Structure 1
């Protein structure tokens, strides 16, 4: 039998969290409570049990 050189144990795929406005990937994983700002469009997204709402941060540079 031939051995495969690049054998790795299968990882369980973590859920993806994407920006609700531009669909950019923000992170992969599970978060309990967090607030994250999209670096592309500036939208602020709340993730977790306490807040399930999202808002847009409109700022001029």
Structure 2
């Protein structure tokens, strides 16, 4: 598997739009690398961003 994504590849991997990924980059909400004029995202950074949004389920219990 690829270690680095282009912006369109990252968007496809995250099942979202290219615009959303570009906004994450512009707002510095996801780590990225500049290779000259090109932007690349490491798979591990994309996975870390995805996992940071994880919400655990709430367990409820009966009140006495």
User: TM-score higher than 0.5 here?
Assistant: no
TM interval, short-chain normalised: under 0.3
TM-score by length of 1: 0.25
Query: Which has the greater radius of gyration?
Result: 1
Indicate the structure whose relative CO is greater, using CA pairs within 8 Å and at least 6 residues apart.
2
Task: Identify, as 1 or 2, the structure richer in helix.
Answer: 2
